Amino acid sequence: MTKTPIKQGPTDRELPGRFELKGKIAVVTGGASGIGVGITNALAEAGATIILADVNSEAIEQQLALMQSAGLRSSGCQLDLADEASIVESCNDILSGHGTPWILVNNAGRQACSTCRQTFSGSSSQMLRYIDIRLWNSHGDSSANASW
């Protein structure tokens, strides 16, 4: 059996030329913590203007301070994906303040506990919130009456 050699990916020096996002607007849901921080930093380093859309306003402010101190263009908006009014308001704010986003990363999620049994043995309102976040986020329906 002949083994096919593994192709090496682009080096750090090659990637920026291929991944140029200067002048592009990127909205990252859940962008103020966890994996979202890595996503926002990578997109910002490639030149995108980042909009952190997160439910946690304190985390937004902390991440914005870090990004702006590094010279990365960013702003934030508080967004609760389990609340349609919050989605519509955030979409309208983003459109009026920045124009139409070029990138939308649906990264937000909620891990309320470590097991499904714990998740679904709570109150019905907790269960519905858990489901709402996943449905709004995973189906890309975050445009909710906003024309992106």
Domain assignment present for 144: no
Instruction: Give the tokens for residue 49.
Output: 């203007």
pLDDT of residue 109: 74
- Check if the beta carbon of residue 40 is closer than 8 Å to that of residue 28: yes
Domain assignment present for 40: yes
Distance CA 5, CA 10 (A): 16
Burial class (CB in 10 A: 0-12, 13-18, 19+), 44: buried
- Check if the beta carbon of residue 25 is closer than 8 Å to that of residue 46: no
Distance CA 132, CA 21 (A): 31
Classified as helix, coil or strand, 130 is: helix
| pTM beyond 0.85 | no
Domain assignment present for 96: yes
- Check if the beta carbon of residue 94 is closer than 8 Å to that of residue 51: yes
In three-state form (DSSP H/G/I as H, E/B as E, the rest C), the secondary structure along 60-127 is: HHHHHHHHHHCCCCEEEEECCCCCHHHHHHHHHHHHHHHCCCCEEEECCCCCCCCCHHHHHCCCHHHH
Domain assignment present for 130: yes
Q: Which domain holds residue 119?
A: 22-138
pLDDT of residue 143: 46
Structural domain total, the chain: 1
Mind listing the pLDDT tens digit for each residue in 106-128?
888 765 555 555 555 566 666 66
CATH of the domain at 130: 3.40.50.720
Domain assignment present for 16: no
Instruction: Give the tokens for residue 46.
Output: 């490639």
Mind listing the pLDDT tens digit for each residue in 70-97?
999 999 999 988 888 998 999 999 999 9
